[in-house]
Amino acid sequence: MKIIAFEEHFSLRELANIRRDYMNRIQLPIREKAGGMSNIGRLLSDFEEIRLPEMDRYGITRQVLATGSPGIQGLTDPCEAVWLAAYANDFLGEQIRRHPDRFSGLAALPLQDPPAAARELERSVLELGLSGAMVHGHTNGLYLDHPSVWCVWERAAALNVPIYIHPTDPIPGQWKIYEGYPELLSAAWNWGIETGTHALRVIFSGLFDEFPTAKLIVGHMGELIPYALWRLEHQYKQLIHGDSLLEMPTGKRMIKQLPSRYIRNNLYITTSGNLSAPALRCAIESIGADRILFAADYPFEKNAPAVDFIRTVAIAEQDREKIAWRNAEKLLKII
C-alpha cells in the first residue's frame, strides 16, 4: 500500500533564528528545554542522508513538506517576511526538483503583506511546483478569516490548492488560562484548541460562501472539530433561530449553510500526531473518510508508529486506502 504523509517538516538556519526570537517575544510561560531542538534541527535540515532512507524503511512513498512553526508567521517586518518566504520556497522547490517522486511541498506565505502573500502563493504553485500553502496560526495576531487575507484565499481557490493551518502559540495576553500548567501547553492541548478555533473562524466568516472551492486543512485528527461537530451545530441552530441565551450581533455576516456542510465539503483533516483509533473512527463517522489524510508530523513525531497505525487500525480497507494515499493523490493532483 502506498503511503503519502501530508504534514512533514523541514527547516533552514534562517527559520531557526525566527523561532528563537519569536519565543522570546511571545512571553511563553515556560522555558523550552536547553538543547531540546538540536537533534530535531538536524532532522529538519536533512533531506537525503536520513529522511529518504527512513521513508524507504517504513514504506512512505511521499512526504508533503512545509516549514515548522512559527515559520514566516513569526516575523514582524513585512519586507523580511516577503524575502524569506520566497527564499524558503525556492529552497523547497529545489528539493522537489531533485526528488519529484518523493517530495511535494506547501509554500510559506508572508501574510504580513497579504497581496504579496497571494503573489507568492501563485509563484510557488506555477513556477516552483508547490501544492498549496501552510500557515502557522496567526501572523502577529492576524487570523485567516480577516478580510485583508481573503485575496490569498481567492488566489488559492483559483489555483485549486489548499491552505493548511498549522498550530502556533497564542498571542501574548492569551496565556493566562494556561499559566502554571505546562501539561496544557503546545501539542498536548492549547495548540489543538487554538487551531480548531482558527479554522472555525474561517468557516463562520462566510469565506467559503465567497469562494466555494477553497480548501482548508487542519492536522491532529481535526483539532477536536469532528468530535465537537454535533454540539457545535446544535448550538448554532439555536442561535440563529433565537433559542439561545446569546444574541447574534447586528450586522454579523451569516453563513448560507450549516457549519457541517462546509466542514464536509471544504475541510480536510490529517492524522498527524494523533494515533487514536477511537478518534479516527469518530472522524470517519463525523466528516467522512474522503476528507482525511495520513500524516506523521515528522520529525516532531516518529514515522514508525504512525505508519504502523494506518496499516493496522481497525477500519474498512477502502477507507484505509483513501486515508493512506488516495485522498492525497487527488488533492496533490498526482496522476
Catalytic residues: 297
Q: Check if the beta carbon of residue 332 is closer than 8 Å to that of residue 104.
A: yes
- CA angle (303 as vertex; 297, 307 as ends), nearest 5: 105
Residues 304, 57: Cα–Cα separation, whole Å: 9
Residues 155, 140: Cα–Cα separation, whole Å: 22
Give me the DSSP letters along 12-48: -HHHHHHHHHHHHHTT-SSPPPTTTTHHHHHHHH-ST
Print burial letters for 57-75: b (CB count within 10 Å at least 16), e (below 16). ebebbbbbbbbbbbbbbbb
- CA angle (133 as vertex; 128, 137 as ends), nearest 5: 150
Torsion of CA 253, 256, 258, 264, to 10 degrees: -110
Label residue 122 left, alpha or beta by phi (over 0 means left) and psi (-120 to 50 means alpha). alpha
The contacts of residue 240 (CB under 8 Å, 6+ apart) are: 248, 254
Q: Check if the beta carbon of residue 224 is closer than 8 Å to that of residue 287.
A: no
